[in-house]
Structure 1
Amino acid sequence: MKKRSIFLSPLALLFAVIATTMTACGQSKQNDTSNNPKNMETTKIKLTVTGGRTFTATLADNSSAEALRELIMKGDLTIEMEDYASMEKVGPIGTSLPRNDRPTTTSAGDIILYQGKYLVIYYDKNSWNFTRLGRIDNATADELKQALGSGDVTVTLSAE
């Protein structure tokens, strides 16, 4: 009987190593997220509008939302916001955050970063290149319009 040796070409060996590494990294990342309840809790923030109406929001999974979360963890962030085009409230954050702009169509409740330094809360639709920061939980367009009003408003972001 003749012995057979198993030989993998360098390319096949490279694919095998990459596949094994990706699988191991994916399982590790998945386990880290699912076993870390603190990580899950920090994806929520609280928005308090002038007059006392409070909403919760879920942050997006990107470096911009992470930077906003870190900023809020240092202390509440109060933003003076102006009405723009009867579809959104916009105000300066007071610092620049990393941008992850993508073509985006917004809907009521979306929280957007504009030009890296403005926070925008939508209560209607718009399409442009934006960075999604998060979304207000369980609020209708009518509830948002009522809470945000028709003029300028102050919104305070805080850790939930």
Structure 2
Amino acid sequence: MINLQIGERNLTAELEGNSSAQAFLELLQEGPVTVQMHDYGNFEKVGPLPTSLPENNQQITTEPGDIILYQGNSITVYYDVNTWNFTRLGRVQGVTQQELKDILGEGDVAITFTLSNS
């Protein structure tokens, strides 16, 4: 499990069981990662990671709350659906689609990813 700090809100996410999620976990073991994210396509927030991670791309349809690795060096948090060749890193737990949209807001947002026990 990892945490996503978005403004005053703290969300938790469960990681996938793939080498991409494992590499992301190892990155977070070095310390928090804050990503400046912008809206894209009215269905996701996307921003650059400080390093590239291995990809495990599959043709998938995202769901609200999916955390996706895009092109190995960007991270996205989906608040709607999209179908593409992606690597799922994890999924935000315990929020509805509308709650997630409200938390992420309309414009740019900073999300700090941390280990859940830190």
Query: How high is the TM-score relative to the length of structure 2?
Result: 0.97
Name the structure with the higher helix share: 1
Instruction: Choose from 37, 52, 64 the match for 1:96.
Output: 52
Post-superposition CA distance 1:6-32 (Å, at most 9, x none): xxxxxxxxxxxxxxxxxxxxxxxxxxx
Aligned residues: 116
1:156 corresponds in structure 2 to: 112
Q: Distance in 2 between matches of 1:52 and 1:95?
A: 26
2:2 corresponds in structure 1 to: 45
Helix, strand or coil at the partner of 2:52? coil
Q: Distance in 1 between matches of 2:36 and 2:60?
A: 24
Helix, strand or coil at the partner of 1:128? strand
Instruction: Choose from 92, 101, 112 the match for 1:145.
Output: 101
Runs of 4+ in 1 over 4 A off after TM superposition: none
Q: Distance in 2 between matches of 1:143 and 1:54?
A: 13
2:21 corresponds in structure 1 to: 65
Which structure has the bigger radius of gyration? 1
Q: Distance in 1 between matches of 2:57 and 2:20?
A: 10
Q: Distance in 1 between matches of 2:15 and 2:66?
A: 10
1:106 corresponds in structure 2 to: 62
Query: How high is the TM-score relative to the length of structure 1?
Result: 0.72
Query: How much has 1:52 moved relative to structure 2?
Result: 1.2
Percentage of pairs with the same residue: 53
1:48 partner amino acid: Q
Q: Distance in 2 between matches of 1:71 and 1:96?
A: 10
Post-superposition CA distance 1:98-157 (Å, at most 9, x none): 000000100100000000000000000000000000000111110110000011000000
Helix, strand or coil at the partner of 1:108? coil
2:31 partner amino acid: G
Query: How much has 1:94 moved relative to structure 2?
Result: 1.4
2:90 corresponds in structure 1 to: 134
Q: Distance in 2 between matches of 1:83 and 1:55?
A: 19
Consecutive unaligned residues of structure 2, counting only runs of 5 or more, are none
Q: How much is the aligned-residue C-alpha RMSD, in angstroms? A: 0.5
